[in-house]
Amino acid sequence: MHELSVCQALIGQVEKVARENDARRVVAIVIAVGPLSGVEAGLLEHAYPIAAAGTLAEHATLTVETVPVRVKCRKCGAETGAQPNRLVCGDCGDWQVDVIAGEEMLLKRVEIETAPAAVH
């Protein structure tokens, strides 16, 4: 539900990167999102064109990499996958685990187009 707000924030970050690098336009954006970030990849993709309209990123493709949840057990030390609502060690079943992946909401990569090199 809050994915449009997140997209607007994303466009803000992307435009900043684009301006800093003298981009004419943004070609592609890659973000990483984990299930524990509270945002849904599909909803982000739907909200993205609305947030991007009229910006340097208007025609950019958005790639959402989903990051699976991984936990590290404080008891047995195992690193295993886990479900967002069952953050327990996949090996010994203990619930005292640290989440090591799955909380991400990161802008990873921006592909931009800059002005063509001057022709002599």
Partner 1 sequence: MCRDCGCSLGPAATRAPLAAATATPGRTETIEVITAILGENDRVAAHNREHFDAQGVLAVNLMSSPGAGKTSLLEATIRALDGRLKVAVIEGDLATENDADRIRACGVPAVQITTGNACHLDAQMVHDAVHDLPLAGLDVLFIENVGNLVCPASFDLGQHRNVTLLSVPEGDDKPAKYPVMFRAADLSLITKTDLLAYITEFKLERAHAALRQIGFGGETIELTSRGGDGFAAWLAWLEREVAAQRERTARGSTARPAIQPEGAAVHAAGRPPR
User: Would you tell me which residues interact with partner 1 (CB under 8 A)?
Assistant: 1-6, 8-10, 12-13, 17, 21, 23-25, 27, 31-32, 34-39, 46-47, 50, 53-54, 58-59, 71, 84-88, 95-97, 99-101, 103-117
Q: What minimum distance in Å lies between the beta carbon of 118 and partner 1?
A: 11
With CA atoms as reference, report the closest residue to 9 among 66, 59, 61, 47.
Answer: 47
**Nearer residue to partner 1 within complex by CB, 90 or 113:** 113
Nearer to partner 1, 12 or 77 (CB): 12
Q: Is 22 left (phi over 0), alpha (psi -120 to 50) or beta?
A: left
Which DSSP letter does residue 118 get? Answer: P
* Count of Cβ atoms closer than 10 Å to residue 12 Cβ: 11
How far lies 18's CA from each of 21, 51, 105, in Å? Answer: 5, 16, 19
- Smallest gap from Cβ 90 to partner 1, in A, equals 13
Minimum distance of partner 1 from residue 4's CB (angstroms): 5
Q: How far is the CB of 107 from partner 1 (least distance, A)?
A: 5
What are the tokens at 11?
């466009």
